[in-house]
Structure 1
Amino acid sequence: MRSFIKIAAAFAVATVTLAAQAQLVPQKPVTIVVPYPAGGPLDNAAHILADKLRPMLKAEVLVDNRPGSGGNVGAALVAKAPADGHTLVMGAVATHAINPWLYPNMPYDALKDFTPITLVARVPNVLVMNAETAKRLNIKDTKDLIAYARKNPGRLNYASGGNGSAGHLAGELFKSLAKISVVHLPSSGSAQAQAGLLSGQTDLMFDNLASASANIKSGKLVAFGVTTINRSSSFTEIPTINDVLPGFHISTWFGIFGPANLPKATTDQLQKAFAAALNTPDTAEKFARMSATPSPMTSADFAYMVMKEHADYGRLIKVAKIKLD
């Protein structure tokens, strides 16, 4: 009996010790790596959440921008970091679902080298057309656009931020479902693509809704439809493309990942903290300004979502034969 008590006591001490080790170290900074330049939606979201997380985690929460190689540089940094929960990445559809199918020498395995913690938000893209072009061609909505493109194959073009970008993939999916021929004109970034669209050098673009909103409101761009399955809460008057092309739904999403083999207790601690930060009214208000919807979910659900997105984009990229320049 005494031996059993000693063993039980030792096991209890070991369990407590392991649990303590699995928790974040108090007062040690938590860094959220953003694998894109400052000023974008991921960067803005990271700063909003960092402010909320500091009192919850009782630690300094830093945002570190590490852009490069379509997001691969920052993501790889976290993939190689210690699995203690103090180095995280604001990963996205590009870093974890698109890039693995485009880059021949990926510096990480998107599914094996990370611990998914929670989805942060989804941001719809929107199909927009230069307003003067739309007026000249008498194109008022998605149905008109498809009808014109079918009668005039190859006459229209669409801009994107580059080969393999979300806008490029949305365009290829649209062409495939609508059975139309539209020329893809890749740019060196979304800002350059939007500038070309506004100047009339290009006709169409699948742009980020937050980025396009000011030009839609001013009348410089005509919005035909959002790319998500549901309408945007900030632009309820814009229909979904899925209303015209059933099966068309594609969105930009981003979420929090840690390195692989993150202890479950640490993962749970972080997931609860991020979910609490996302579920506040002022966070929702700030995200709405970016046309983003806070979307926390369990780590298991997020892991399943990432795996499915990874497979879905792989099929789309192979069918469309998309390659980087």
Structure 2
Amino acid sequence: MPSLPHPTPSRRGRRLLPRIALLVAAFACAGAQAQTPAWPSKPIRIITGFPAGSATDSISRTLAEHLRAKLGQPVIVENRAGANGALGVAEVARAPADGHTILATNSSSITVNPQVYRKLGYVPERDFIPLTMVVSAPFILVVNPAAERTAGVNSVADLMALARSKPGQITYGSGGPGNLAHLGFEMINNRASVKTTHVPYKSGVNAQLGVLGKEIDTMLDTPVTLPNLKAGKLKALAVTTATRWRDLPEVPTMIEAGYPGFDVSFWLGLLVPAQTPPAVVQALYAALRTARDDPNILRQLQTQGQVELTDPQAFAARIRAETAAWGEVIRRENITLD
């Protein structure tokens, strides 16, 4: 059977086809927009697992101010202090993945806690998308020059000599078992072959108050303590990074103090719940990275460390690398928790 001839469209019909195609495309776009809610559509929460006055709280409030101006929505900081930051992390892990809840935390809660605690309520690589590493910084080994026991301590060597003369009697504080300040000090103990006693506090700020109040002898503090150092209330013996810290150029590194290869730093960063839409993640990061362009915001962030504001991919790579590195340190230094 011969094939039937196809109908030939008229000239008018040919002219209508492009218009019909445009209308179909327009309706399709409208439908897609209707299915994708506008963001942000309500106030944004930044949840941190650390108390008011902590470094993480400080960057949270600074960036909340910046995001309010950029996004036109209220941005509220909520403190869920406890368990070395784990309470706040676990809450955000359970939050809706809609871009309206952000986690502000430190490196301990993401790269260390999962390796030293059995029951956390979250798994970082499963429950979160890294957003940006805001700042990175060294720890600062400090003592109270007004305390009777540490009045004559002017160097790392002095502190270790004191610890050797009083086994187990010299106390150091941290923001909780398993955080980087705890692990870092245990590294010092192991390298120096001394025994000191760890006194865990609810936060690094509380531990700092413990040194100031002569409750404990020493700690690995953060750049939050710079005003105390400038006022002479605390004395810096060393910084823990491989190079000297820009704000304390006269203070030696632990490497210079006789501990080869000693290089410990921490970061403060933002993450969002897993399954947050990629477009929202990118929009959030686009708003955050412009913090560099605001001199007032930048100045506030710089008080907490070196401003990084890395992109999500670079931040994710940093987390993977640090998690592996700290796993090796925990095994090599035989660090265990009570």
Q: TM-score range by the shorter chain?
A: 0.7 to 0.9
Within the candidate set 243, 254, 262, 2:268 is matched to 254
Cα–Cα, structure 1 residues 78 and 193, in superposed 2: closer, same or farther, change >3 Å?
A: closer
Look up the match of 1:68: 82
Structure 2 length as normaliser, TM-score? 0.81
Unaligned ranges ≥5, structure 2: 1-13
Report the secondary structure of 1:237's partner residue: coil
8 Å Cα contact 1:149/1:182 also seen in 2: no
Within the candidate set 319, 329, 337, 1:306 is matched to 319
Is residue 226 from structure 1 mapped to residue 239 from structure 2 by the alignment? yes
Look up the match of 1:276: 290
1:86 & 1:272 partners in 2: Cα distance? 15
8 Å Cα contact 1:234/1:291 also seen in 2: no
Look up the match of 2:69: 55
Query: How many percent identity over aligned positions?
Result: 31
Cα–Cα, structure 1 residues 215 and 58, in superposed 2: closer, same or farther, change >3 Å?
A: closer
Look up the match of 1:78: 92
2:177 & 2:282 partners in 1: Cα distance? 37
Task: Give the C-alpha shift of residue 157 in structure 1.
Answer: 2.6
State the AA in 1 paired with 2:240.
Answer: T
Is residue 241 from structure 1 mapped to residue 254 from structure 2 by the alignment? yes
8 Å Cα contact 1:194/1:205 also seen in 2: yes
Summarize deviations over 1:50-80 as a string: whole Å, max 9, x none. 1111231122222122223322222122222
Number of equivalent positions: 319
Cα–Cα, structure 1 residues 118 and 4, in superposed 2: closer, same or farther, change >3 Å?
A: farther
Higher-Rg structure is 2
1:12 & 1:174 partners in 2: Cα distance? 65
Structure 1 length as normaliser, TM-score? 0.83
State the AA in 2 paired with 1:117.
Answer: L
Task: Give the C-alpha shift of residue 233 in structure 1.
Answer: 2.8
Summarize deviations over 1:186-221 as a string: whole Å, max 9, x none. 23344554455345554332122323x344334343
8 Å Cα contact 1:157/1:183 also seen in 2: yes
Summarize deviations over 1:172-198 as a string: whole Å, max 9, x none. 12233x342131322334455445534
2:135 & 2:117 partners in 1: Cα distance? 25
8 Å Cα contact 1:278/1:295 also seen in 2: no
2:337 & 2:34 partners in 1: Cα distance? 46
Cα–Cα, structure 1 residues 10 and 125, in superposed 2: closer, same or farther, change >3 Å?
A: farther
Unaligned ranges ≥5, structure 1: none
Report the secondary structure of 1:272's partner residue: helix
Cα–Cα, structure 1 residues 274 and 155, in superposed 2: closer, same or farther, change >3 Å?
A: same
Look up the match of 2:59: 45
Q: Which moved more, 1:77-86 or 1:187-196?
A: 187-196
